Amino acid sequence: MQINQDMAMNEKARTVVLARRPGPDISVDDFALVDQPLPEPGEGQVRVRNRYISVDPYMRLALSDRNGVSAAKPLGEAMTGGAVGVVEASRAPALPPGTMVTSQFGWRDRFVADASAVQAVSAEGVQPSWYLGLLGLTGMTAYAGIEYILAPAAGETIFVSGAAGAVGSVAAQLAKQRGCRVIATAGTDEKVAWLKDVLHLDAVANYATTDLAAFLARECPGGIDHYFDNVGGPTLDAAITAMKPKGRIVVCGAISQYNTPNYCAGPGEFFKISEKGITIVGLNVGMWFDRGKEAFGDLAQRVATGKLIWEETIVEGLDNAPQAFVSLFSGQNRGKMVVAVDPAR
């Protein structure tokens, strides 16, 4: 018994921490992989081995000098966020070994936590990684933005930026299934082709090589009814300019701005919202999980019946989490980017 405990106390977990505050050129060198002691679970605790961790654009916000609503993450602190794994040791009867759980402890291979800090999830009928996307933050974000906030009507025009990304690809499909005309942007010709040929969106442009104002004017001569903003910056300005009077915008993300010195800065065309009577709704997904049961049930059903295409880009190995994260900002992913954690060493 004493021997076992000593062995356990010598166990380590691998964790990715913030090593340096990222500048405009965020880099893998801004992160470091460190070993940390892994205690035995105490009474009511579990030890979890992660299978997948999530890397999402919003994680950039806490790394910024320019504070938003919360303070900047201190250097040396672990990257947090969604993860899904399996209980491998337990002193909590409700979560026996083998239970699949989601958590918010982020970029690490193993951790020990109170049972109340993890959520047991079913491993049946879904891929574990879906809990980080379709049935997690990503799916809830897209669902809240389209179904609860914008709720576009059939025949209305909606513009979705970043439409090949995790949130954008679901939002665009949900809007399409409501009978909307869906206009979209993405960052490579390959993504544009996927959005047109596979997701059947109505008009798609590569924002890097297209005059957005001209594209929107051509494709939406009567103006845009709704805009689902994942990117901010010049695209948000172009959308505001192209909106119909009384149009509605949901501001979900601003990935084009997160590496700038002041990601909080407003759009250049902001005051047009008053002249046009436009409504802008900020979307913080954390405020919508109380409707998760309905949303996730609907999303899982649509994927199961082939109505919704759920795409993932899976990067292998915790060591590669920083690279996976950094690559989000140059648009290397199609759909949801997740990191598969190394098997037990």
Binding interface with a copy of itself (CB under 8 A): 61, 68-70, 232, 245-246, 251-254, 257, 262-284, 287
User: Comparing C-alpha atoms, which of 127, 172, 169 is closest to residue 300?
Assistant: 127
Question: Is the CB of 27 or the CB of 279 nearer to a copy of itself?
Answer: 279
Smallest distance, a copy of itself to C-beta of residue 27, A: 23
User: Comparing C-alpha atoms, which of 129, 94, 128, 114 is closest to residue 47?
Assistant: 114
Question: Is the CB of 145 or the CB of 322 nearer to a copy of itself?
Answer: 145
Question: Is the CB of 213 or the CB of 281 nearer to a copy of itself?
Answer: 281
Smallest distance, a copy of itself to C-beta of residue 262, A: 7
Question: Is the CB of 41 or the CB of 139 nearer to a copy of itself?
Answer: 139
Name the helix (H) or strand (E) containing 88: strand 83-90
Smallest distance, a copy of itself to C-beta of residue 123, A: 32
Smallest distance, a copy of itself to C-beta of residue 247, A: 10
Question: Is the CB of 108 or the CB of 248 nearer to a copy of itself?
Answer: 248
Say which residues have a Cβ less than 8 Å from residue 252's Cβ, sequence separation at least 6: 141, 145, 167, 171, 228, 229, 230, 283
Smallest distance, a copy of itself to C-beta of residue 235, A: 14
Report the helix count and the strand count for the chain, using DSSP H and E.
9, 15
Asked if 94 and 118 count as a contact pair (C-beta separation under 8 A), the reply is: no
Residues 91-115 as b/e (b if ≥16 CB within 10 A, e otherwise) read: ebeebeeebbbbbebbbbbbbbbeb
